[in-house]
């Protein structure tokens, strides 16, 4: 799509159907690649690369799956992706809700400086971490270990930020004070009062963390070594070859890797979009 | 339920205890590695030699990087890709967001969802798909171009001059919806009565766009452009997958982030790779600062 498609917005008013048609055409362009991904997943390599390209589903899904599971330990890779994403989500929710609560409801020395520092780390580009992450994992003996993928990311600055904002807006300070008066311990307040109130924000952060871990490629690329420990993105990439790529199988694998994301998005797009763009508008 | 004594924290100690996991992890996996890479940038080292084999080489790695033709080539590729994928994102997202904001009532969320969806999907899966769409003889892109415009098949991923446009297309496709959402959120904060007053004064729609909408979007534009710059300069996954991890013919698709990955993990030169990562980081910081300057309110303006 080009800018001229949408310029009439500042010209004369246009009919509603034209507005829908323009935005709709753009939206179709955005969605078309997904359509092809799922169509190609059911086509053999020869059919994918024929003219005209297939636009509708074929019957090669079982064949593609057979090739896929023969070339790579696909289900195992899928299992690792799921395991790493769930562990990463659980740890991130725990640590970020703790940190966000601390930043929102306590006064302590250097609080503002520490929070600014946490925010600053969000702007750190991922390439800065690539080499040192490999080295520290090497030193710790975590190379080729799934924990190298979910433990470092649990210290998510974005998560702390999101949680702090939510605590500020929806956890009444009086409630915490009252619990403290009643003799509730500090960790008890966090666990029994703050955490339940954070449920909506935990849902958002959980979704974001799960998706980020599921899609993570650079992390496993740097630390994972053996194909049976690969997560999905790395396993799919290993199927690419300059001479003899099994495109049908590769598309089936890509479609299976994409499907959970589409389901999650269909169920929670508004929550996800709001969470991912949090902080843009103060 | 009684907690063990050790866990019964005083209100003064509680925030530190609550923040401990985050800062402990961050120190080990964030800060320490970063400082270590700074130190490494001044060493000559190959991982196969063991940690004891490091040798201080002063600015040697930086000198090497700055004299390395491929490093400069990767910087040019990165800049090209960042501009060609970043600028159109905003040029399309701003009018599109205005358009959706003013013209679309029903189906608005569906439309926004469609544009946003690419942002959350696996870059690897999507880049693999695009690699097939861009295939020369039987790819969908060439089929459509041929059918609609009669254009001969283009060798997208094989010819150096075509690789970058192909990568930029994927990057644009992936991030434009994110920017649409940013601008939509900002549009909702512009007071409606500004437009009403302007209409009463006889301002045209174009004048309203230039004098009300664009200034109202400025803070978010600053945010979005900053993210585009930081994101554009660290492009890795899309070019990595589309060029099979090697940068494509004549290294036309090799970004700097990819090059420093190869420098470390393919060529085993961790010192030079660290030096390059700090040079690229300096560029990111410099451009972020320049953006900040460019968007700073001028004297006399609100």
**DSSP string of A104-169?**
HH---TTHHHHHHHHHHHTTS-THHHHHHHHHHHHHHT-TT-THHHHTGGGS-HHHHHHHHHHHHH
Q: Tell whether the model's pLDDT for residue B1 goes beyond 80.
A: no
**Mean pLDDT of the region A68-83:** 94
Is the model's pLDDT at A9 over the cut of 80?
no
Is omega for the bond preceding B229 within 30 degrees of 0, making it cis? no
B291 close to B271: Cβ distance less than 8 angstroms: no
| A7 at B interface, C-beta within 8 A | yes
Whether B5 shows a pLDDT value over 60: the answer reads no
Task: Please give the pLDDT value at position B126.
Answer: 92
Residue A185 pLDDT exceeds 90: no
Predicted pLDDT at A77: 95
Nearest-by-Cβ selection for B260 from A96, A127, A154: A127
Question: Once rounded to an integer, what is the mean pLDDT over residues A154-166?
Answer: 90
CA distance A16 to chain B (A): 7
Mutation site, B20, B22, B139, interface A, largest A CB count within 10 A: B22
Q: Give the pLDDT confidence score for residue A217 in this predicted structure.
A: 94
Contact A176, A198 (CB under 8 A): no
Q: How confident is the model at residue A16 (pLDDT cuts 50, 70, 90)?
A: low
The bridge status of strand B43-44 relative to strand B55-56 is: antiparallel
pLDDT higher than threshold 60 for residue A147 = yes
Mean pLDDT on B279-284: 94
Residue B47: partners with Cβ closer than 8 Å, 6 or more residues away: A135, A138, B268, B270
Per the CB < 8 Å rule, is A99 touching B22?
A: yes
Show residues of chain A in contact with B111, CB under 8 Å: 23-24, 27
0.80 exceeded by pTM: yes
Q: What share of chain A is helix, strand, coil (3-state, %, to 5)?
A: 75, 0, 25
Average pLDDT over residues A247-273: 91
pLDDT of residue A271: 85
pLDDT digits (tens, 9 = 90+) for B150-208: 888 888 888 888 999 999 999 999 999 999 999 998 998 899 889 989 988 888 888 89
> Which of residues 109 through 138 in chain B touch A, CB cutoff 8 A?
109-126, 128-133, 135, 137-138
Beta-carbon neighbour count of residue B20 at 10 Å? 14
Note the ipTM here. 0.88
The verdict on A247 touching B (C-beta cutoff 8 Å) is: yes
Asked if the model's pLDDT at residue A51 lies above 90, the reply is no
Residue-wise DSSP of B278-300: HHHHHHHHHHHHHHHHHHSPPTT
């Amino acid at each position: 799509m080009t800018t001229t498609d949408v310029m009439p917005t500042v010209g004369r008013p246009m009919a509603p159907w034209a507005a829908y048609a323009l935005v709709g055409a753009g939206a179709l362009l955005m969605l078309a690649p997904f359509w092809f991904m799922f169509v190609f997943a059911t086509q053999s390599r020869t059919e994918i690369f024929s003219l005209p390209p297939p636009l509708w589903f074929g019957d090669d899904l079982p064949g593609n799956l057979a090739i896929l599971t023969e070339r790579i330990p696909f289900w195992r890779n899928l299992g690792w992706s799921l395991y790493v994403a769930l562990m990463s989500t659980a740890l991130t929710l725990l640590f970020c809700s703790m940190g966000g609560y601390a930043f929102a409801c306590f006064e302590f020395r250097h609080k503002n400086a520490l929070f600014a520092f946490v925010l600053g780390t969000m702007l750190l580009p991922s390439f800065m971490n690539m080499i040192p992450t490999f080295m520290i994992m090497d030193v710790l003996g975590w190379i080729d270990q799934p924990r190298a993928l979910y433990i470092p990311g649990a210290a998510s600055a974005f998560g702390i930020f999101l949680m702090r904002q939510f605590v500020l807006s929806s956890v009444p300070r009086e409630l915490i004070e009252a619990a403290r008066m009643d003799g509730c311990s500090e960790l008890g307040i966090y666990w029994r009062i703050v955490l339940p109130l954070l449920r909506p924000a935990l849902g958002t952060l959980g979704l974001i963390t799960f998706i980020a871990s599921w899609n993570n490629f650079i992390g496993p690329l740097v630390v994972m070594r053996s194909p049976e420990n690969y997560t999905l993105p790395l396993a799919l990439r290993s199927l690419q070859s300059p001479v003899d790529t099994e495109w049908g199988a590769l598309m089936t694998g890509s479609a299976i890797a994409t499907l959970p994301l589409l389901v999650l998005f269909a169920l929670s797009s508004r929550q996800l979009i709001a969470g991912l763009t949090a902080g843009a508008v103060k | 339920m009684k907690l063990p004594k050790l866990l019964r924290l005083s209100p003064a100690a509680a925030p530190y205890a609550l923040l401990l996991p985050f800062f402990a992890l961050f120190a080990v996996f964030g800060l320490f590695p970063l400082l270590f890479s700074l130190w490494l940038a001044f060493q000559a080292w190959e991982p196969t030699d063991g940690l004891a084999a490091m040798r201080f080489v002063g600015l040697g790695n930086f000198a090497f990087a700055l004299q390395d033709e491929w490093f400069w080539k990767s910087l040019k590729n990165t800049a090209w890709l960042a501009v060609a994928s970043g600028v159109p994102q905003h040029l399309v997202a701003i009018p599109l967001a205005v358009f959706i904001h003013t013209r679309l009532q029903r189906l608005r969320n569906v439309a926004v969802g469609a544009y946003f969806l690419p942002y959350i999907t696996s870059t690897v899966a999507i880049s693999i798909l695009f690699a097939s769409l861009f295939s020369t003889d039987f790819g969908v892109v060439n089929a459509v171009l041929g059918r609609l415009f009669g254009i001969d098949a283009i060798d997208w991923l094989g010819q150096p001059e075509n690789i970058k446009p192909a990568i930029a297309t994927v990057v644009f496709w992936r991030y434009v919806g994110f920017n649409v959402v940013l601008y939509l959120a900002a549009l909702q904060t512009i007071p409606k009565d500004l437009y009403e007053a302007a209409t009463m004064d006889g301002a045209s729609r174009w004048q309203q766009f230039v004098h009300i909408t664009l200034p109202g979007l400025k803070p978010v534009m600053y945010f979005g452009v900053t993210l585009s710059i930081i994101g554009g300069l660290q492009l890795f996954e899309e070019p990595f997958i589309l060029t099979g991890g090697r940068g494509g013919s004549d290294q036309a698709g090799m970004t700097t982030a990819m090059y420093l990955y190869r420098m470390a993990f393919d060529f085993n030169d961790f010192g030079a790779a660290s030096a390059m990562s700090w040079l690229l980081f300096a560029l990111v910081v410099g451009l972020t600062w320049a953006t900040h300057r460019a968007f700073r309110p001028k004297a006399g303006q609100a």
